[in-house]
């Protein structure tokens, strides 16, 4: 047995630790907020150590204008803080400042199999028909994501529904590493996909996910939208002419209506059942204004705070630097143990 295999902090009995990430590739949407960020804040208050990462290395798997990427990274950091992440209680940082992510990512590139990565739906969607022209980074994306969580011996990862497949792959990679090297070193992570808004849909098409890359800005609410824009987008959201029913089952064939009910529920910390019970029999002529008022009351203060924080980017950079130092202090020893397990000679 090597030192690494007997070191404390192995998979068995790993203390709970939460990690999640968001790409700084454009602004935050209501989907990111309800599916991820709002839940990050709840977990921060759960008494478990929480690490939240702006995954800039993932962002460059597709082309990013350098100046826009820098701005988006700072604005995303401001979004986290404005939404309630406290950099004193959570570790908030950007991925490229903690090189252990990329280093472990390389090791995991050598563990994962081409076939596993080729099956990832996000790769297929983003690469489209022209796979030959996709970056190698886009293909290897899930290995870096597995490294993000594994390099902290993370146990729980709060995400929206669309990240489930990537986290299942991260579990496979951890299991294969432990198996190949005959260790019980990496914990197998638990995706935490919970709440009314794990999949917020487009406001224009209830069968498509709300996304920052959708060509139509009317399809999404951005955290940087002002109150008038939020109200307009909700007023123009596609719906049907039926009133709301008194039970959720009756919404199964009405994806746009169901989406607005879910959004209302997540914004007001209620269940979708409670929302339909409250609005049963009412049409969208009264439900949409209520939803717009609720959305503005939650999102406008966040928007104001983002704008205030962006007035001092030096302070944002300082927060990210301090977070990176704290993250590095956890990641570096785990990376060193990994190198030891795989047989690299290290200075002692």
Binding residues vs ligand TYM (CB under 6 A): 19-23, 31-32, 35-36, 55, 58, 145, 148-149, 157, 159-160, 162-163, 166, 197-200, 209-210
Nearer to ligand TYM, 4 or 64 (CB): 64
**Which residues, including other chains, have CB under 8 Å from residue 102's CB and lie 6 or more apart?**
57, 96, 144, 147
Nearer to ligand TYM, 198 or 239 (CB): 198
Nearer to ligand TYM, 4 or 49 (CB): 49
Smallest gap from residue 150 Cβ to ligand TYM (A): 10
Handedness of CA 165, 171, 174, 176 (dihedral sign): negative
Sheet holding 49-54, edge to edge: 91-94, 49-54, 17-22, 156-158, 190-192
Calculate ∠ Cα 225-230-232, nearest 5°. 125
Nearer to ligand TYM, 87 or 160 (CB): 160
Nearer to ligand TYM, 197 or 223 (CB): 197
288 is catalytic: no
Tell me which of 38, 124, 208, 209 is the catalytic residue: 209
Smallest gap from residue 26 Cβ to ligand TYM (A): 9
Tokens linked to 195:
């709440």
For 94, the 3-state DSSP assignment is strand
Tell me which of 68, 126, 164, 233 is the catalytic residue: 126
Q: Which residue number places its CB atom closest to ligand TYM? A: 35
Smallest gap from residue 55 Cβ to ligand TYM (A): 4
Smallest gap from residue 2 Cβ to ligand TYM (A): 28
Beta-bridge mates of residue 191: 157
233 is catalytic: no
Smallest gap from residue 285 Cβ to ligand TYM (A): 26
Q: How far, in Å, CA of 318 to CA of 79, rounded?
A: 16
Tokens linked to 234:
């909700």
Tell me which of 176, 212, 233, 236 is the catalytic residue: 212
- CA separation (Å) from 260 to 204, 216, 241, 266, 288? 11, 18, 14, 10, 8
Nearer to ligand TYM, 169 or 292 (CB): 169
Asked if 77 and 316 touch (Cβ cutoff 8 Å), the reply is yes
Smallest gap from residue 19 Cβ to ligand TYM (A): 6
Nearer to ligand TYM, 94 or 178 (CB): 94
Tokens linked to 288:
């949409």
Calculate ∠ Cα 158-163-167, nearest 5°. 80
Beta-bridge mates of residue 246: none
- Closest by alpha carbon to 33, among 172, 166, 210? 210
Handedness of CA 98, 93, 12, 184 (dihedral sign): negative
- Closest by alpha carbon to 323, among 36, 52, 38? 52
Smallest gap from residue 88 Cβ to ligand TYM (A): 22
212 is catalytic: yes
Q: Which residues are catalytic?
A: 126, 209, 212
């Amino acid at each position: 047995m090597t030192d690494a295999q007997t070191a404390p902090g192995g998979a068995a009995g790993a203390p709970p630790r939460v990690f999640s990430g968001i790409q700084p590739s454009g602004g935050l949407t209501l989907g990111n907020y309800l599916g991820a960020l709002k839940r990050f804040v709840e977990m921060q208050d759960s008494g478990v150590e929480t690490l939240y990462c702006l995954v800039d290395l993932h962002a460059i798997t597709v082309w990013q204008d350098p100046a826009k990427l820098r701005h988006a990274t700072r604005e995303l950091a401001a979004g986290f803080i404005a939404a309630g992440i406290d950099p004193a209680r959570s570790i908030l940082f950007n991925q490229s400042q903690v090189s252990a992510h990329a280093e472990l990512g390389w090791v995991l590139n050598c563990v994962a199999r081409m076939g596993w990565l080729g099956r990832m739906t996000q790769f297929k969607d983003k690469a489209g028909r022209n796979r030959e022209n996709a970056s190698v980074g886009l293909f290897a994306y899930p290995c870096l994501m597995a490294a993000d969580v594994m390099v902290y011996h993370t146990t729980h990862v709060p995400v929206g529904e669309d990240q489930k497949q990537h986290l299942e792959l991260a579990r496979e990679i951890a299991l294969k590493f432990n198996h190949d090297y005959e260790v019980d070193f990496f914990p197998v992570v638990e995706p935490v996909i919970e709440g009314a808004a794990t999949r917020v849909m487009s406001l224009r098409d209830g069968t498509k996910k709300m996304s920052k890359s959708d060509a139509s800005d009317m399809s999404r609410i951005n955290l940087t939208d002002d109150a008038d824009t939020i109200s307009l987008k909700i007023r123009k959201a596609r719906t049907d002419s039926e009133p709301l029913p008194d039970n959720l089952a009756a919404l199964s064939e009405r994806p746009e209506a169901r989406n607005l009910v879910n959004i209302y529920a997540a914004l007001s910390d209620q269940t979708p059942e409670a929302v339909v019970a409250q609005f049963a029999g009412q049409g969208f002529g009264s439900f949409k204004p209520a939803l717009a008022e609720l959305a503005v009351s939650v999102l406008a203060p966040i928007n104001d705070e983002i704008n205030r924080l962006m007035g001092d980017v030096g302070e944002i950079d300082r927060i990210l630097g301090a977070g990176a130092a704290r993250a590095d202090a956890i990641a570096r020893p785990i990376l060193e143990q990994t190198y030891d397990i795989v047989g690299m000679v290290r200075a002692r």
